[in-house]
Structure 1
Amino acid sequence: MAESSPYLTATADAYDAVAPIYAEFVRDSLDRLTLDRALIAAFAELVRAAGPRPVVEAGCGPGYMTAHLRGLGLDAFGVDLSAVMIDLAREAYPDLRFEVGSMDALDLADGELGGLVSWYSVIHIPPQELPPYFAEFHRVLAPGGYLLLGFFESEGGPVLEFDHKVTPAYRWPIDDLAELAGKAGFVEVGRMLREPYEDERFRRGHLLMRRQ
């Protein structure tokens, strides 16, 4: 079972341990991210135009992004490995749906979704383990559905492991991540690279893709 994978258990345990602190830290994090919000808004507009299908945030943490997506008019719900994070999300946003689960084994029918957001959640997956996640994203998205990825970019280097403050994580070359998603049946719609703010360590990468 995916839930028994050591890296998944370690990730869930690490986020459980810091959940209240992390939730407070990220709660208003989108407020200053002008470029990031613009891409999220574009994703929402494309999903709405394609038809009334739900959207999942895979790796939703304390739910702030799921709530933002709902504010953009999407039927959004969240899934996360961390049970403590899900409890905090339900407390903060009682009108929204949140479930404990793994991104590589979503409890959804084939083609059920109009959109899927993975906002700095695939960063914790060891590179060799990532292809099944993209296969699962492809399975649950309807043909023409949209995938939005947020991640730390490696700034021209290879995939790099780094000392994330919660649990080990990886920085990806944007071309390599796009190619990996392409092999799973996604085509690129657009991309955005953002240089780090003074209090950020790494360049931020964003990919907007569509299921073929």
Structure 2
Amino acid sequence: MTEPSYLAAVRESYDTVADDYSALVKTPSELDPLSRSMLTAFAELVQASDRGPVADLGCGPGRVTAHMAGLGVSAFGIDVSPKMIELARISYPDLRFSVGSMTALEIEDDTLGGILAYYSTHHTPPELLPVVFAEFHRTLAPGGHLLLAGHVGTGEHRRPTHGYGGHPVSYASYRLTTHQIAELVSEAGFTITAQLVQERDEELNWKFASFLAYKPTAEEPA
């Protein structure tokens, strides 16, 4: 398929801010206890189901991928930004990282034990999220697990002019409601097992949410 036009802005923007992003964004060990617990729960579910490796989609500089590996999960990372992938390979040379897009994954059907999309889908226009979630469903093995986490809101569409480190960026950001995200995930064929909504900053009215889900087996309805 033809690459969606928004990806060029995401790629260029994250190539530009990659070094500062890596310096400024918290590592998984620095996250709040609830966020860490969701990552741990996801790792345990993937290990228990034993369906295959975890793909960290939108992996950035690879820190969450490495965190998964540290929890005993076979994990690899994919990101649309070549600069992010370069940083990930330098920091974690024993792990596998590649450049790619969530809209067209170069992964065979039903081969992943887990998909981690950690703050990596909010730049996707809402009308294209079904395409992304369909790719998640296609590549995840029956019985495999999904952890989707990111910003939520009331449907805001933001176009920041500057990003990490004050560098110019051209991507857009979409903050859907938790209900909208849950509905899209369910419509893609997943069964949601847990949702966690957290308040980040009352003054800025930032919220973020995590969704644990799985792909039903043939014997189980979606």
Fold conserved between structures, TM > 0.5:
yes
Q: Does 1:84 align with 2:83?
A: yes
One-letter code aligned to 2:196: M
Count of matched residue pairs: 208
2:172 paired residue number: 168
Aligned equivalents of 2:85, 2:16: Cα separation in 1: 13
Cα gap change, 1:49 to 1:84, in 2 (>3 Å): same
| SS of match in other structure, 2:122 | helix
2:20 paired residue number: 21
1:106 paired residue number: 105
| SS of match in other structure, 2:200 | coil
Spell out the pairing of 1:45-60 with structure 2 (5 A cutoff). Answer: 45-51=44-50, 53-60=52-59
Unaligned runs of 5+ in 1: none
Aligned equivalents of 1:201, 1:70: Cα separation in 2: 33
| SS of match in other structure, 1:143 | strand
Cα gap change, 1:2 to 1:45, in 2 (>3 Å): farther
- Aligned identity (percent) is 44
Aligned equivalents of 2:110, 2:51: Cα separation in 1: 13
TM-score (structure 2 length as normaliser): 0.89
Q: Is the 8 A contact 2:112 2:139 kept in 1?
A: yes
| SS of match in other structure, 1:95 | coil
Q: Does 1:193 align with 2:189?
A: no
One-letter code aligned to 2:140: L
Aligned equivalents of 1:182, 1:134: Cα separation in 2: 9
| SS of match in other structure, 1:19 | helix
Spell out the pairing of 1:61-140 with structure 2 (5 A cutoff). Answer: 61-140=60-139
| Cα distance per residue 1:103-137 (max 9 Å; x no partner) | 12111111110000001111000001110100000
Shift, 1:31, TM fit: 1.0
| SS of match in other structure, 1:122 | coil
Q: Does 1:206 align with 2:200?
A: no
* Structure number having the greater helix percentage: 1
Shift, 1:172, TM fit: 1.5
Q: Is the 8 A contact 2:51 2:144 kept in 1?
A: no
| Cα distance per residue 1:160-181 (max 9 Å; x no partner) | 1124535311112111101111
One-letter code aligned to 1:98: F
Aligned equivalents of 2:28, 2:72: Cα separation in 1: 20
One-letter code aligned to 2:190: F
Shift, 1:26, TM fit: 1.6
Q: Is the 8 A contact 1:151 1:172 kept in 2?
A: no
TM-score (structure 1 length as normaliser): 0.93
Aligned equivalents of 1:197, 1:96: Cα separation in 2: 34
Shift, 1:69, TM fit: 0.7
1:142 paired residue number: 141
Unaligned runs of 5+ in 2: 164-168, 217-222
| SS of match in other structure, 1:114 | strand
**Structure 1 segments of 4+ aligned residues over 4 angstroms from their partners:** 197-201
Once the two structures are overlaid, the 10-residue window that deviates more, 167-176 or 90-99, is: 167-176
Aligned equivalents of 1:110, 1:60: Cα separation in 2: 21
Instruction: Give the aligned CA root-mean-square deviation in angstroms.
Output: 1.6
